[in-house]
Amino acid sequence: MPPAATARHADAALTPEQHAAWERDGYVIVRGLWSRAEIDACRERFDDLAANAPDQPPHWEPDRNSSDPLKRYPRVMHPHRIDGLSRAMLLDPRVGAILRRLLGEEPIATQSMFYFKPPGGRGQALHQDNFYLKVAPQTCVAAWTAVDAATPENGGLFVCPGTHGMEVACPEAADAAESFTTDLVRPPAGVVPVPAVLGPGDVLFFNGSVVHGSKPNTTADRWRRSFICHYAPASAEAIGSHYKPCFRFDGREHRGFADATGGGPCGEPFDAAAAAGAA
């Protein structure tokens, strides 16, 4: 299948071809949404956190003595709850405008994360984000910002075109040598993962059912930092409680989501919130 269409400017309306790509593939790349200065500021903020900030559970909990790069530099969970720049990026009006075009309704901000992914860092097995967020009866949407250039060599994302039409699946066990998470969802037969090659400031928007993941960072000196946010349509009725409070783009808290219940595709005993942190 062809790669998703790309947009060059976030302040321009998405073209009919880009809307068609979103409908066909379940994802679209917007090039240069963030300026180089904005991306540099984001990188510097999180590099400073990694170098100087004390532990801030449950947001930032590094193991400074670990030989595992992803334990020494773990992902930062919900930084918008502790950092003004992260909250501003989560609620940036350019992101909101694109999401409104893609969703056809008001988006609600539900999550932010920052990934460092140093050289040697493991990947994340193929998965579906809405398995964790449990947005119902619709699905979530991710806005995945490249802070560094993201390529297959340094652990950039792969996406499976057309899998936004899949039901959310119960995962099987992932290879712990390749993936820092335990869940693996295999795409349908004949669907080949496509690399989403991104430059700093590019944003990949994708539907919460799209199967996606990454391989290890096999480079010697290239980090793959990324800032990732998730959103839900305002018309959704429920979301996992881990993701509350949720926010409108004017900064007001959105109180219209009930707590998602049940174990989803894995059955009642399973609690996806225990593994929350889809990317």
> Is the pLDDT score of 271 beyond 70?
no
**Residue 190 to residue 86: CA distance in whole angstroms:** 38
Strand ranges, E, within 50-140? 76-77, 107-115, 124-127
Q: What is the mean pLDDT of the chain?
A: 92
Instruction: Quickly state the pLDDT bin for 15 (edges 50, 70, 90).
Output: confident
For the cut 90, the answer to whether the pLDDT of residue 239 exceeds it is yes
Q: Is the pLDDT of residue 33 over 90?
A: yes
pLDDT category at 132 given cuts 50, 70, 90 is very high
| Amino acid at residue number 190 | G
Q: Can you read off the two tokens belonging to residue 233?
A: 């349509």
In whole angstroms, what is the distance from residue 228 CA to residue 207 CA? 13
pLDDT at 89: 98
Q: Which residues contact 149 (CB under 8 A, 6 or more apart)?
A: 198, 199, 200, 222
pLDDT value of residue 10: 43
- In this predicted structure, what is the pLDDT of residue 273? 45
Is 2 a residue whose pLDDT tops 90?
no
Look at residue 175 in the predicted model and tell me its pLDDT: 96
Q: Which of 28-32, 50-54, 195-199 has the highest mean pLDDT?
A: 195-199
Q: Does pLDDT of 12 surpass 60? A: no
Distances (CA, A) of 121 to 143, 218, 268: 22, 8, 33
Distance of CA 154 to the CA centre of its chain: 17
Determine the CATH number of domain 6-275.
2.60.120.620
Percent of the chain at pLDDT exceeding 90:
86
154-164: average pLDDT = 98
